[in-house]
A and B are shown apart, each in its own frame.
Chain A
Amino acid sequence: MGSGGTEVEKFSLRKAYAEALLELGRRRKNVVVLDADLALSTQTARFGKAFPGRFFDMGIAEADMIDTAVGLALTGKLVFVSTFAMFAVGKPWEQIRNSAAYSGVHLNIVATHSGISVGEDGSSHQCIEDMALVRIIPDTTVIAPADDIATHELITMLADYEGLTYTRLTRPNLPRVYKEGERFEIGKVKVLSKGKDVTIVATGSMVWSSLQAAQMLDADGISAGVIDAFTVKPLDEKPVLAAAKKTSLVVTAEEHTTTGGLGEAVAALLSENHPTRLLRIGVADRFGESGTCSELLDAFGLTPAGIYDKIKKALKK
């Protein structure tokens, strides 16, 4: 974690996804799941084992998979599609745009292995553009859960949602931000703490790290609040603006390029409504590379210490 603390227990988002799918599959006969030859990694294979008639491995053909999913949705199926983020959005972007979103069907794309924490596989497998790619398409929803509890709850809620939804999960397990039983509402953020000096708006894997960074800042007498933007689109504007009005610096933190994702969504919101100094923490216009997950997060400053350092530096300016 980079802050030198004792090892925290971490939990799998993929496992939480698979379990939520199994529960949905048991409750609703119309749940259908598709994967593109990564079902063991994404853990959708567990759904396939339990409901073989409602699981289709589409092979290594993501464009075909997305459009097949749209066809299934048009026959009344509640469809979840999974593969790694790079292949879930990057390859079939036009299928997502023209067939899924434009047709207005309810289709849920749940990608695992987002961001640089994918690690050793290197940049070809480290998708840092996925949220931007989906966010720019009209009528889409972008979700990045902070832990396994949020993943389970949000996936379950997607069953009664509508339109094209994109949920990004991480490969590594993450420490828990929430306790069992926490409730979420898609389209909202969660204000985890209120700050007087700094507001950190974080998403996905960066929520826990931001909470740690806020504690470190607190020890220095700097009051930083943390907002979990588990829905990146549509962005829940009111609480973000309210927090910005009370702090002189707003920080965004995401395991994603600083272009087109949460950072730019918050930048647009602030500059149009309440111009506030903004620091975007993420991957700044560069590719990832091979390494262990913690080496990469350290190198990119996407750790509690990295976030703390960047905020301290910004406050000195």
Chain B
Amino acid sequence: MKRFDFPKDGPPQKLIDTLVKKSKEIRRQILVMLSAANSGHTGGSLSATDILTALYYHVMSHKPDEPHWPERDRFVLSKGHAAPALYAILADCGYFGKEHLKTLRRFGSLLQGHPCFCTPGVEVCTGSLGHGLSLANGMALGNRIDEKTSEIYVLLGDGECQEGQVWEAAMSAGHYKLGNLTAIVDKNGLQIDGTTKDVMDIDPIDDKFRAFGWQVLVIDGHDFRQLLSAFRFAVQERCCPTAIIANTVKGKGVSFMENNLEFHGRAPTEEELKWALAELK
């Protein structure tokens, strides 16, 4: 596969530099959108930004001018509250005009508070946690029946893994050996009521996936070298589904938002936006 045709020691620096630059741009966009909407989930959007940037700008095969291209790789945002990150990327890729971004969460907007079918590029409605892995399994089974070579990607939150359905789905993906499926866990360690460790400890999450018949990689979810290498592994080793446990920082990229619970479910004020954008120059 050409996009993974890089040396064994990792992807070239030029590619990494491009992705780093792009993710900074996307983070800026996310903050502007959230600030304009005056509500939404900042922390989890920023923790997922590098994962989504790697997927949409390098890993996935997709055609923004043909969202339903049958051979496309598909992406399911199971942690639907990170919608601003997905929207910023979809708009930047050209799925819809960037003018829509400032309408996020407004009445009549193409951009609902959580992902909806109505947005070009969004594969399925999500937002209520726990659904995405099962949805992705169905897509992976469908592609297998059709003998398609494309890949299904799904992004889960670590808090989300407290939902029982995630483990029903982990079991069926393992049982049906869905080698065309890659699940990424955005492991930022925080949820609304506190740290995942305090609220409901889900560790060791990697062992849990392994026990259900998955191959598991644990990486730094903000390091593009590790991200690209992990995605390459998932595409090349198709004996079973792959889980990439991506250790991330909630609010990544803005000092006063990093690991700050307050920014799980709130948007930056105008003042905070100014400071944040200054940091992301």
Contacts and interface: CB of A to CB of B under 8 A. Distances in A.
Interface of A: 32, 53-54, 56, 58-59, 61, 63-77, 94-95, 98-99, 102-104
Contact of A103 (B117, B139, B176): B117
A28 B176 CA distance: 23
B246 interface: no
A99 B17 CA distance: 38
Interface residues of B, number: 30
B146 A56 contact: no
Contacts of B146: 75-76
Interface string B214-242: 00000000000000000000000000000
B196 interface: no
A73 B123 CA distance: 12
26 contacts: A32-B141, A56-B141, A56-B176, A59-B171, A59-B175, A61-B165, A61-B171, A64-B134, A64-B172, A66-B134, A68-B141, A68-B169, A70-B134, A71-B135, A71-B140, A71-B141, A72-B138, A72-B142, A74-B123, A75-B139, A75-B145, A98-B127, A98-B128, A99-B125, A99-B131, A102-B116
Given A69-B138, A70-B134, 15 more contacts: A32-B141, A32-B142, A64-B134, A67-B135, A67-B138, A70-B138, A71-B142, A72-B138, A75-B146, A76-B142, A98-B127, A98-B128, A99-B135, A102-B117, A103-B117
A240 B176 CA distance: 48
Contacts of B176: 56
B57 to A, nearest CB: 24
A61 B172 contact: yes
A104 B140 CA distance: 19
Contacts of A63: 130, 134, 164-165, 168
B168 A77 contact: no
B133 to A, nearest CB: 8
Interface in B115-166: 116-117, 123-128, 130-131, 134-143, 145-146, 164-165
Given A63-B165, A75-B142, A68 B172 contact: yes
A77 B144 CA distance: 12
Given A59-B171, A94-B128, A95-B131, A74 B142 contact: yes
A32 B146 CA distance: 12
A31 to B, nearest CB: 11
Interface of B: 116-117, 123-128, 130-131, 134-143, 145-146, 164-165, 168-169, 171-172, 175-176
Contacts of B134: 63-68, 70-71, 95, 99
Nearest to B139: A71
A64 to B, nearest CB: 4
Report which residue of B116, B134, B139, B168 has the largest number of chain A beta carbons within 10 angstroms of its beta carbon.
B134
A75 B143 contact: yes
Nearest to A65: B134
Given A59-B171, A67-B165, A54 B136 contact: no
A57 to B, nearest CB: 9
B175 to A, nearest CB: 8
A95 B168 CA distance: 13
Contacts of B127: 98
Nearest to B143: A75
A71 B128 contact: no
Contacts of B138: 67-75
B164 to A, nearest CB: 8
Contacts of A61: 165, 168, 171-172
